[in-house]
Amino acid sequence: MEHPENDKAYKGLVVNAGIEPPSSVNPYLKNHPRRKKRSLSVADYVDGIVKGDVTILSRAVTLVESVLPEHQTVAQEVIEKCLPYAGNSVRIGISGVPGAGKSTSIDVFGLHVLGKYGGKLAVLAIDPSSERSKGSILGDKTRMEKLSVHPKSFIRPSPSAGSLGGVARKTRETIVLCEAAGFDKIFVETVGVGQSETAVHSMVDFFLLIQLAGTGDELQGIKRGIMEMADGIVINKADGDNLERAKLAASQFRNALHLFPASESGWTPQVLTYSGFYNLGVKEIWDMIYQYIAFVKENGYFEYRRNEQSKYWMYETINEYLRDNFYHNPHIEALLAEKEQQVLRGNLTSFVAAKNLLDTYFSDLKR
Ligand code: GDP
């Protein structure tokens, strides 16, 4: 039957021919491609950092942490160019065993110093055991809830696992970049379980040790060396039922510190109690730290310690480079397991084995 639509007399709506369905891909997208990260030149990095651009700072830190030689080359140039802008900060090392309350404390400490002294704060970490993919235990943003959303703070987790020397060097270099970006307060956090304290101590102006009141035997298990490094010891969780125990622990620490020889700085390490969670005694800790800074700036120890640290890092870098170069030498890689076996079986003394390997390495260098 004829459709009424085709009749000239028909006054109704006309059905038009359809059109090709449009592409399901938005044609405008090709005009707005997803922006790929433009690679930056050394000058771009330095300009961005000096202007305080945190995105560029983050990217530069990523280069510092990279193991790729081409990244390292750029990173080293950026660091060198940032050096003239660096150094103008107060660097504080914060150490304590897991559970001592470091994250809780750093959150309140950070807010306190930014509130009282202004400026900008970078929180870095040294944790040689951390692997980011497994969830770094240090520097994790969610652990410092308030600070991580503060506009004047920059929190960076520990460089991922590697040799302690390598991890520490990267953190030390990151300090330079942060300072060039205008961060005038630097916290370097570490888990208080061993050698990483020495590394942190070698890059900060003040070393703060967070302790807990425990079973009454506070001084057991804390290494004398670590206590000797401390410019201040603070007993956390001095709240509620724990208050008296914290006070007792503090007096035990004070007594123990008396037995140590006077520190090189002329400063007598202080012992204080506080509660990071309830924000009690935090002001006193920072008054003490700033008092120390004024004291050592006045007597010249501040400069002296920083110079000594620069020297230390020069040797550390040399040692690390030589070690790396030795162990990555193809001949050494090929020989090492064999020599090790010979030593284990008693066919070769340790010294002869070491000498053989070193001779191989040095004669390789001469070629
Ligand atoms: P970290 O492992 O050293 O970083 O320690 P955290 O900051 O994660 O704290 C470990 C636990 O101790 C958490 O459950 C905190 O809530 C608790 N804590 C931290 N500071 C205090 C404090 O001042 N008083 C009390 N009572 N608990 C605290």
Q: How does pLDDT run across 165-191, given as a tens digit for each residue?
A: 778 889 999 999 999 999 999 999 987
Residue pLDDT, tens place only, 194-231: 678 888 889 999 999 999 887 555 555 566 778 888 99
Cα(138)–Cα(311) distance, integer angstroms: 27
Predicted pLDDT at 33? 55
The CATH class for the domain spanning 86-298 reads alpha beta
Contacts of 200 (CB under 8 A, 6+ apart): 93, 95, 126, 168, 188, 190, 207
Contacts of 40 (CB under 8 A, 6+ apart): 48, 56, 59
Average pLDDT of the chain to the nearest whole number: 86
Average pLDDT over residues 53-74: 92
Partners of 273 in the beta sheet?
A: 235
Question: Which two three-digit tokens encode residue 230?
Answer: 């401390």
Predicted pLDDT at 134? 44
Predicted pLDDT at 260? 84
Residue spans in the chain of domains classed CATH 3.40.50.300? 86-298
Pocket test for ligand 1, best of 127, 191, 277, 279 (most atoms within 8 A of CB): 277
Pocket test for ligand 1, best of 94, 97, 104 (most atoms within 8 A of CB): 104
Average pLDDT over residues 123-144: 63
Cα(322)–Cα(5) distance, integer angstroms: 91
Which residues form ligand 1's pocket by a CB distance below 6 Å? 96, 98-104, 236-237, 239, 275-277
Look up the pTM and report it: 0.82
Question: Which two three-digit tokens encode residue 202?
Answer: 């070698």
3-state class (DSSP) for residue 273: strand
Proportion of the chain above pLDDT 90, given as a percent:
60
Residue nearest to atom 12 of ligand 1 (CA): 101
Residue spans in the chain of domains classed CATH 1.20.5? 40-85
Q: What is the DSSP letter of 275?
A: B
Helical (H) or strand (E) element with 210: strand 206-212
User: According to CATH, what is the number of the domain 40-85?
Assistant: 1.20.5
Kindly give the distance from the C-alpha atom of residue 210 to the centroid of ligand 1, in angstroms, as a whole number: 11
Cα(49)–Cα(317) distance, integer angstroms: 24
